[in-house]
Amino acid sequence: MITYDHEVPCDGAKIEVLLDAAFGDGRFLKPSYHLRRDTKPLDQLSFVARSGPTVVGTVRFTPVHIKDRLFGKTVRALFLGPLAVSPALQSEGIGGNLMRLALETAKAAGHNNILLVGDYSYYQRFGFKPVSSRKIRMPGQQGENRLLALSLSTYWALPQTGEIIAGWPQERTPHAVDRSAA
Ligand SMILES: CC(C)(COP(=O)(O)OP(=O)(O)OC[C@H]1O[C@@H](n2cnc3c(N)ncnc32)[C@H](O)[C@@H]1OP(=O)(O)O)[C@@H](O)C(=O)NCCC(=O)NCCS
């Protein structure tokens, strides 16, 4: 039986084994890996599929933002991936279940903009749409990419043009009021 669960710290090594099997070594050369390199996945949005003690599926999100090239405005987003299922168990619905669980959890947590690099023919079933690389670009990207985006609300909040940057920008917090002298 396959069960679905939040990723926990001791899943890390098992997930690496799964990613090696699903993507091979070449994964480290992908633009998505470059973007995620120094950013931790969000614990509350990282899920695994388990078959007994074995991790057979994984999906993660990392925080990113897009800086609008025209207006300088910054828009937060989630970068989805990697999504992978053990080769022996692919096409049994595990990837789809992980995607729906992750997207529902992201929506319930109030997130709106989801980005990923992947095959439109797979991700269109979840509502993703292609984004022109002339508008929003992966860092260091040359030429066309496979960037896809999904809005979890009824409005489209992504800027018309900009570059994806790892992490969320620091929120500006009001200065603490020093009441000690009062
Ligand atoms: C992509 C992946 C996560 C899907 O997981 P899964 O459990 O096999 O997916 P599901 O069972 O929910 O869906 C299977 C369907 O997706 C299709 N599919 C799988 N990968 C696809 C791809 N890259 N492009 C288009 N369709 C794809 C299958 O042909 C199957 O189609 P069917 O329903 O018409 O038979 C899995 O195949 C995988 O780990 N692949 C290797 C790593 C990878 O490519 N990750 C995604 C980056 S694009």
Average pLDDT, the chain: 89
Give me the pLDDT at residue 180, please: 43
What is the C-alpha separation between 35 and 147, in angstroms, rounded? Answer: 13
In a domain, 135, yes or no: yes
- Domain presence at residue 77: yes
Rounded CA separation 141/122 (Å):
22
Structural domain that includes position 156: 2-166
Q: What is the pTM of this model?
A: 0.91
DSSP string, 47-112: EEEEETTEEEEEEEEEEEEEEETTT--EEEEEEEEEEEE-GGGTTSSHHHHHHHHHHHHHHHTT--
Residue 181 covered by a domain: no
* Residue 171 maps to a domain: no
The residue nearest atom 40 of ligand 1, judged by CA position, is 84
User: Does residue 180 fall inside a structural domain?
Assistant: no
Please check whether residue 15 lies inside any domain of the structure: yes
User: Is the minimum distance from the CB of 49 to ligand 1 under 6 angstroms?
Assistant: no
pLDDT in tens, 74-103: 999 999 999 999 999 999 999 999 999 999
* Domain count across the chain: 1
Q: Is the CB of 130 under 6 A from ligand 1?
A: no
Residue 178's pLDDT is 43
Contact 125, 71 (CB under 8 A): no
Which ligand 1 atom lies nearest to the CA of residue 91?
A: 11
50 inside domain: yes
Where residue 88 sits, what CATH number does that domain have?
Answer: 3.40.630.30
Banded pLDDT at 73 (limits 50, 70, 90): confident
Tell me, in angstroms, the distance from the centre of ligand 1 to residue 92's CA. 9
pLDDT at residue 60 tops 60: yes
Give the pLDDT band of residue 132 (cuts 50, 70, 90).
confident
Query: Does 100 reside within a domain?
Result: yes
d(CA 43, CA 162): 27
Closest atom, ligand 1, to C-alpha of 90? 8
